[in-house]
Amino acid sequence: MKRLPTLLLAILFGSVVLAQDADHFFSGRSQMLLDPSRAGLDAGGRVAFIHQDQWLQLPGSWRSEFLSVDWCARNTKKPVSSWLGLGFLARQEQQGGQGSRLASLALVPAVHLRAGSRSYLSLGMEVRWVNGTTGVWPGTWGSQYNGQVYDAALPSGETSAIGESTWLESRAGISWTLKQDRESAHRRERNKLVAGLAADHLGRLTIQQEGAFPSAPPMRFTAYALGELPHQIWDDGFFAGELIGNMQGTSYAARFNVYAGKHLLNVLHDEGGPMHIGFKAGLGYRLHDALLVNAAMDVNRTTLGLAYGWAMRSTDRLAAGRRTVEVLLQVRFAGAS
């Protein structure tokens, strides 16, 4: 009984967040989540897994998992002015007390064009297959009494609150990258500035639909700028900042993060030698919402990160005090040596 008031708040809050995409704290470390044009820009490849529980007080009610893989298909044996990147995304998301779930698979091709000696222009498109369900199968009922589903055409005012749908949709993005140094085929020069714009939910082609399923979410726009400044306070040190803004329908959000860290991008691991350790840690603020803390450790080519969000000044009273945690595991694969 003690959890009943919290559960009722969760159901009400679900009507607000149901149509909104998850905001991942580590999207700056796995940039293909920000923008499909980031797939396969840098030499080699990456596999990243992100798990986020968006409301710790209600375990599992709002959670999402992403698996992303991207690879740079550039010819490293000769100078090139353009190359292709290829990515793959798998997602699973559960949204709130109504039991809505989304599962998707996406293919992400991108093209990268050299714009200057240290700059690149990238364009990408994501084509996504999505399966969504709402309610708990084989059946739950909503009514005018619980505030979930109401059908005035029925004598009882009740209707089934379950549904399933499968569809195709797309996402597109464009970005510009400025490197710290001239990039060669065999190194991963650090990014000095990355700026981009992406648009999601670009139309929907319904393949199958059954039952009472919510309408398509509004288009989502993401604009971002990621900057990095090297320093010599410690070896391979840097300071960094992120500015990420989202607009979806009538809702908007913005997030600003600052970091300090140590790079391992151009460090080679000697066989049998000591492990190389790097890190990136910082603080952030999500507009009118939450304080963010996150840290990641690099061990050779593996990255493990942990982030925590605490809703301190949320304009939505139902979400005040909400806690969010996110875990990142990422492995880089070397390009040509």
- pLDDT above 80 for 186: no
**Residue 322 pLDDT class (50, 70, 90 cuts):** confident
- pLDDT above 50 for 146: no
pLDDT averaged over every residue in the chain: 81
3-state secondary structure of 55: coil
| The token pair that represents 135 in the structure block | 């309610």
The predicted structure's pLDDT at residue 3? 43
The CB-side HSE value for 113 (13 A sphere, CA atoms) comes to 7
| The token pair that represents 55 in the structure block | 């409301």
Q: Answer for the pair 64, 21: CB distance below 8 angstroms, yes or no.
A: no
The predicted structure's pLDDT at residue 57? 72
Task: Give the number of other Cβ atoms within 10 Å of residue 80's Cβ.
Answer: 12
Cα separation, 112 vs 124, in Å, equals 9
- pLDDT above 60 for 67: yes
Q: pTM for the complete prediction?
A: 0.82
Cα separation, 302 vs 245, in Å, equals 28
Task: Give the number of other Cβ atoms within 10 Å of residue 222's Cβ.
Answer: 23
The pLDDT > 70 percentage for the chain reads 76
* Bond prior to 274 in cis (omega within 30° of 0): no
Cα separation, 187 vs 264, in Å, equals 12
3-state secondary structure of 38: helix
- pLDDT above 60 for 73: yes
**Residue 320 pLDDT class (50, 70, 90 cuts):** low
Tokens 């798990």 sit on residue: 51
Cα separation, 67 vs 108, in Å, equals 13
- pLDDT above 80 for 180: yes
197-200 LR contacts (CB < 8 Å, sep 24+): 197/35, 197/173, 197/221, 197/222, 197/223, 198/34, 198/35, 198/36, 198/37, 198/171, 198/172, 198/173, 198/174, 198/222, 199/171, 199/172, 199/173, 200/21, 200/171
25 compared with 60, residue with greater pLDDT: 25
CA 129 to chain centre: 17
| The token pair that represents 94 in the structure block | 């559960």
Q: Does domain 4-333 have CATH number 2.40.160.40?
A: yes
pLDDT tens digits, residue range 148-166? Answer: 444 455 555 445 556 788 9
The predicted structure's pLDDT at residue 56? 74
The pLDDT > 90 percentage for the chain reads 47
The predicted structure's pLDDT at residue 9? 39
Task: Give the number of other Cβ atoms within 10 Å of residue 176's Cβ.
Answer: 16
- Of the listed ranges 1-10, 59-68, 165-174, 220-229, the least confidently predicted one is 1-10
Question: C-alpha distances in angstroms, 210 versus 17, 83, 201, 223?
Answer: 23, 42, 21, 35
**Residue 69 pLDDT class (50, 70, 90 cuts):** very high
The predicted structure's pLDDT at residue 2? 45
The predicted structure's pLDDT at residue 157? 47
Cα separation, 281 vs 313, in Å, equals 23
The predicted structure's pLDDT at residue 281? 96
**Residue 130 pLDDT class (50, 70, 90 cuts):** very high
DSSP β-bridge partners for residue 178 = 119, 193
